[in-house]
A and B are shown apart, each in its own frame.
Chain A
């Protein structure tokens, strides 16, 4: 593999159980928080996702945030949604991202703008996430813009391309077929929606294995530590999230000041269950607004130190 490959790609290719972590850029123009989180996460994770205006709330751009992560010595994974940009803007931004040294890209459909702070905005959705994956793949190999115009070989952007999947959304039986489309389009890694319902995730993984997809794509299970019973209950109301009743009851049964510890414990147990699930290549820890907890979770899960790439 040449020097163009990302650290995350090398680790996954070499069979390490990878750890990525999510960083939510601020609703403002200061990079201080991003640098702080990059410092915090760079040695306990193999890649750091920079969200792209998540939940349709305006934030500092994913690509700009990634530059700050690079400067801090981290391994940025930019996110790109289809909600806010058409194919012209996306390709332009990706050329720019590559020129800045960014090597990992997560392609997403994007939350509908009705969830965010600009619900009267027009949405784009010129492409869907699968078409986005294919477009990015084509820009590198065979090396053409979406319109078909060739990109000179030395100028082609190359990304380690990922996509998301939600094992808990419906139609359940169709999710794996859709995953296969993402893989066929060129996705190399998948970061899943947060997993609370481990048995349901295991059923989904079984379908993934039956389709042979675990051999073709690196599946990274989503981990979302809950700070409190209230936070966990809120997550259970988010569309596409599945939080089993017994987990809610478990959290509720813990006295308030110990709920953070319980949240960490649940995250650690989930990671350990995923490590034992055949076909799972790593975990993606989404501790938005609670990034400080990630080192502890990774450590308690027995995943430190991280391997050198």
Chain B
């Protein structure tokens, strides 16, 4: 999922830029799962904003998906009478709303942190960097692009110690994980090939990305 984290209330208030008639738009997808912008968080944000600033008029709505234009229409009636939309979706949702409402002030209530998952309640970990050219078949199912602090493709740097990354003792060394997993699978030989420089043009370095699939177009 796209893991998000709500911004501090003072920051959200500042984003309003003095506007008072506010719609808070939640999303039922990733931000619901990661407790950043679903139904509960929308209600909480409304209460916190009302407590923090007098004179706000706040309507709320949780959309099925903000990253899909067909579900945005449900918000139209509320936006008509508002002068500001606070999106609690990821950056995709914020932008889709901004595109739909060109005359309305649309601001984010969350920081979009990373592509990751939750292994235990309250803890989310990054797992995918959206590089567009997956190498997990070569690295034992552990991503060196996003889980190695230096995105190394040919093994651990000199800072790997005790299974941890040099940048901090809480971060696993991805290459230790890759090594251990491939060792367990009897495939350490995979690590002997010098992997060539990556084609970053499929990542964001190639410019904004777009995927077109004729087979699912209508």
Q: A interface vs B, CB < 8 Å?
A: 82-83, 87, 109-112, 114-115, 123, 125-131, 134-135, 146, 164-166, 168-171, 174, 177-178, 180-181, 184-185, 193, 239-240
Contact = CB atoms under 8 A, between A and B. Distances in A.
Interface of B is mostly: loop
A177 B188 contact: yes
Nearest to A174: B179
Interface string B114-156: 0000000000000000000000000000000000011111111
Contact of B154 (A114, A131, A166, A239): A131
Residue of A171, A177, A185 ringed by the most chain B CB atoms within 10 A = A171
A178 B151 CA distance: 16
Contacts of B197: 87, 126-127, 131, 135, 146
B167 A112 contact: yes
Contact of A184 (B149, B158, B163, B194): B194
B153 A131 contact: yes
Contacts of A115: 166-167
B153 to A, nearest CB: 6
Contacts of B161: 168-170, 239-240
Contacts of B154: 128-131, 178, 181
Contacts of B191: 174, 177-178
Contacts of B198: 126
A125 B150 CA distance: 6
Contacts of A239: 159, 161, 166
5 contacts: A170-B173, A178-B154, A181-B194, A240-B158, A240-B159
B73 interface: no
B71 interface: no
B158 to A, nearest CB: 3
A97 to B, nearest CB: 20
A127 B157 CA distance: 13
A170 B176 contact: yes
A123 B145 CA distance: 13
A166 B155 contact: no
Given A123-B150, A146-B197, 15 more contacts: A110-B150, A114-B149, A128-B150, A128-B151, A128-B154, A129-B154, A131-B154, A134-B194, A164-B158, A169-B157, A170-B160, A170-B161, A171-B179, A177-B155, A240-B161
B155 A125 contact: no
Contacts of B153: 128, 131
A112 B159 contact: yes
Interface in B159-218: 159-163, 166-168, 173, 175-176, 179-180, 188, 191-192, 194-198, 200
B196 A181 contact: no
A219 B156 CA distance: 19
A304 to B, nearest CB: 30
Contacts of B158: 109, 164-166, 169, 193, 240
A111 B179 CA distance: 21
Contact of B152 (A111, A125, A180): A125
A171 B180 contact: yes
B152, B155, B163 interface centre (most CB from chain A within 10 Å): B155
A185 B150 contact: no
Which 8 pairs, one residue from A and one from B, show the smallest C-beta to C-beta distance?
A166-B158, A239-B166, A178-B155, A130-B154, A128-B152, A239-B159, A240-B158, A109-B157
Contacts of A168: 161
